[in-house]
Amino acid sequence: MSSDTLISVKNLSRYYGNFCAVDNINFEVKRGQILGFLGPNGAGKTTTMQMITGTLAPTTGQISLAGHDLLDYPIQAKTAIGYLPEQPPVYKEMRVNEYLQFCAKLHNIPSSAISYAVNNAIEQCGLNAVAKRLIGNLSKGYQQRVGIAQAIIHTPQVVILDEPTIGLDPIQIREIRALIRRLGKEHSVILSTHILPEVQAVCSHVQIINRGQFILNDTIDGLLNQMQSTHLQASFHNLPSIEQLEQIQYIESVEIFADNKVRIQHNIENSPVETLVEQSVANNWRLYELIPEQRTLEQVFVDLTNADEDSLITRRIA
């Protein structure tokens, strides 16, 4: 395993009786990555996170954290991880600084270093203004920040965040996302979520899981390439016929709508835009609008999960 690989997961599965929650997955997380772990509810995200953090035993498979096998060297492996579960593990009757001191002791931080560790976590998570307040009196956004602070107080190499913005208002979501991006500069981060814009906003890599299996493992740039559409919307003052448009190289099909508008499907590798403009001028079609369609992340996600469903049905029939 490369020294830059902080998490290595091989042939990982988890069964609950006959139900397979996670089905033979493999992946790596390298130093400096913010990995978006994306999937619908019940896809296996939280189960995978629990196995990686050692709070749930896998049925089969191997997990290595910062070069330490989780089964053979559990203490060394878990020391490399900071974990924020979906419900922050905070004691609401404690003050923020008291709670973080308590967490520092749980992580065996030497007494002489506790004050620095607590102050550093408070600074990174923007908790200076509430450091002496009771956690139970804080907003949910600040409680999430406290949860992240306890996850990074021992400066782990990897931080795992499970649904860190769920239930927050838009301003709180923006603040937590900014915090995650800052963490990504010093830590490797796994962000588990079912919120599609979350991944696009903060992550460098993305994995999509559905029914316990990976259906996508790519960089964000690769995902954005998948979001490129093969359709154009065009408007003409003098509408050409479908036959005239379909004769243009790379145009595969045409739909005509009201007000002289058309929707053009073209070859995925090539765009007909230049030729379309030339033909419009030559034939006096008077093209006045040409808009490339953009697939949304939601559409990519739905397409991938639907394809996964279709393949599952096919396997069952076969």
Strands, DSSP E only, in the chain? Answer: 5-16, 19-30, 34-38, 60-65, 68-69, 81-84, 158-162, 188-193, 205-210, 213-219, 228-236, 251-256, 261-266, 287-294
What are the residues whose beta carbons fall under 8 Å from the beta carbon of 150, sequence distance 6 or more?
82, 84, 88, 89, 90, 99, 100, 103, 121
Query: One fold for both 1-80+163-218 and 228-294?
Result: no
The second-level CATH assignment, the architecture, of 228-294 is 2-Layer Sandwich (3.30)
- Give the fold, CATH level 3, of 1-80+163-218: Rossmann fold (3.40.50)
The single residue listed with the structure tokens 């053009």 is 264
Q: Domains of the chain: which residue ranges?
A: 1-80+163-218, 88-155, 228-294
Among the ranges given (22-36, 69-83, 120-134, 300-314), the one the predictor scored with the smallest mean pLDDT: 300-314
pLDDT one-digit tens code per residue, 51-82: 999 999 999 999 999 999 999 999 999 999 99
Residue type (1 letter), 145: R
pLDDT for 2 equals: 55
What's the number of CA atoms in the CB half-sphere (13 Å) around residue 135? Answer: 20
The average pLDDT across 269-276 equals: 91
Confidence tier at 255 by pLDDT (50, 70, 90)? very high
Q: Which two tokens stand for residue 245?
A: 């448009």
Better-predicted residue by pLDDT, 309 or 275: 275
Residue type (1 letter), 76: Q
CA distance 256 to 236: 11
pLDDT for 243 equals: 94
Confidence tier at 242 by pLDDT (50, 70, 90)? very high
CA distance 141 to 239: 54
**Contact predicate 82/26, CB 8 Å:** no
pLDDT for 289 equals: 95
Q: What is the mean pLDDT of the chain?
A: 88
What are the residues whose beta carbons fall under 8 Å from the beta carbon of 186, sequence distance 6 or more?
none
Confidence tier at 307 by pLDDT (50, 70, 90)? low
Global pTM reads 0.75
